[in-house]
Chains A and B, each alone.
Chain A
Amino acid sequence: MSLINDKVYTQEDEALLSTLLLSVGIMPSKAGFRYLKTSVLIYKKFNGNMSAICTYVAKNNNVSKDSVERDMRTAIENACRRGWFKRFNEIIGVNFLEDGEKLKTKEFIAIVVEYLDDPRSKKSLLKY
């Protein structure tokens, strides 16, 4: 089954994605922020294949695939350590993250993709 859908991400979606990442404590000064953003936007195009996604992002940024994986992982870990990652529960409206629990890169990207595809998402972020 293909994950590809008709959803075309607009500039507004990108702004929403940036705000979401910032709200959970991922700062744009880290390379992982940019890589995560690109990965979310191309996730469905590559059918959720993380290896292909990382290769694509690495090629676009003239870095190695390992570096992309590491930077994204570090960005998520730093956000967890900062304690802001718990906000993710409130933003998406489901209590699935325990205190200090970490998400894998793919899990995080997949959840954010689902969140972006939900038309109610903007409202929930604004409310938050």
Chain B
Amino acid sequence: MTKRIEFADDSYEISYDDGYLDTLLDNLGIEPAASKNYVKRIVVYFSASPKCAKNAYLKVAEEDGLIYNTVVMSIKRGLDNAVYNGKLKNIDDLLQGSVYDYDYGFTNKEFIALICDYLQNHGYLNVKPLLNNR
């Protein structure tokens, strides 16, 4: 799937494997579906603006006519569920290393950045900055 997005003055073309990302989040136990959907979209937007996760949250909130906190809390709920159902530990198998913190889990930003980095490293997510014509 290819998406064209704009952040501040820059535009980007992001191509990503939607099906793979969906399966990945399922395997990591992110539920309910609404949280998974937010995580998916935030991961895609975060890849274009890795310096500030808030931009990605604001973009998704704006698209759905919600406030910023609703998106943040929904993702947090999804992550909490993943911790409770024990599937978030699968991240160690995914990354082939000891990454999961059994004491603290992950913060929203850590999880999103981790998934984003993994997808980019394995060629499932590509970001192409576009020249601004304005």
Nearest-neighbor residue (CB-CB) of B112 within chain A: A29
Instruction: Name A126's contact: one of B53, B96, B109, B117 (CB within 8 Å).
Output: B96
Residues of A within 8 A of B118 (CB): 15, 18
Q: Judge whether A108 is part of the interface by a CB distance below 8 angstroms.
A: no
Cβ-defined contact, A23 with B97, below 8 A:
yes
Q: Contact flags (1/0) for A29-52 with B, using CB distance below 8 Å? A: 101011000000000000000000
Number of interface residues of A (CB under 8 A): 19
Q: How far is the CA of A14 from the CA of B121 in the complex (A)?
A: 6
Cβ-defined contact, B97 with A11, below 8 A:
no
Given contacts A28-B114, A31-B51, contact A23 B99 (CB under 8 A): yes
Q: How far is the CA of A87 from the CA of B110 in the complex (A)?
A: 20
Given contacts A19-B99, A125-B97, contact A29 B110 (CB under 8 A): yes
Q: How far is the CA of A61 from the CA of B87 in the complex (A)?
A: 35
Cβ-defined contact, A28 with B98, below 8 A:
no
Instruction: Name B97's contact: one of A28, A33, A61, A128 (CB within 8 Å).
Output: A128
Q: How far is the CA of A20 from the CA of B114 in the complex (A)?
A: 13
Q: How far is the CA of A31 from the CA of B116 in the complex (A)?
A: 14
Given contacts A29-B107, A31-B51, A87-B98, contact A11 B123 (CB under 8 A): yes
Cβ-defined contact, A18 with B121, below 8 A:
yes
Residues of B within 8 A of A111 (CB): none
Interface size class of chain B, counting residues whose CB lies under 8 Å from the partner chain: 20 to 34
Given contacts A29-B109, A31-B51, contact A22 B97 (CB under 8 A): yes
Q: Judge whether A27 is part of the interface by a CB distance below 8 angstroms.
A: yes
Q: Judge whether B113 is part of the interface by a CB distance below 8 angstroms.
A: yes
Q: Judge whether B134 is part of the interface by a CB distance below 8 angstroms.
A: no
Residues of B within 8 A of A126 (CB): 96
Residues of B within 8 A of A28 (CB): 110, 113-114, 116-117
Interface contacts beyond A27-B110, A28-B114, A126-B96: sample of 13 additional A-B pairs, CB < 8 Å, sorted by A = A15-B122, A18-B117, A18-B118, A20-B97, A28-B110, A28-B117, A29-B109, A29-B110, A29-B114, A31-B50, A31-B51, A33-B117, A125-B96
- A residues sitting closer than 8 Å to B (CB atoms) are 11, 14-15, 18-20, 22-23, 27-29, 31, 33-34, 61, 87, 125-126, 128
- B residues sitting closer than 8 Å to A (CB atoms) are 50-51, 53, 95-99, 107, 109-110, 112-114, 116-118, 121-123
7 CB contacts below 8 A, A to B, read A18-B118, A23-B98, A27-B113, A28-B114, A29-B53, A29-B114, A34-B50
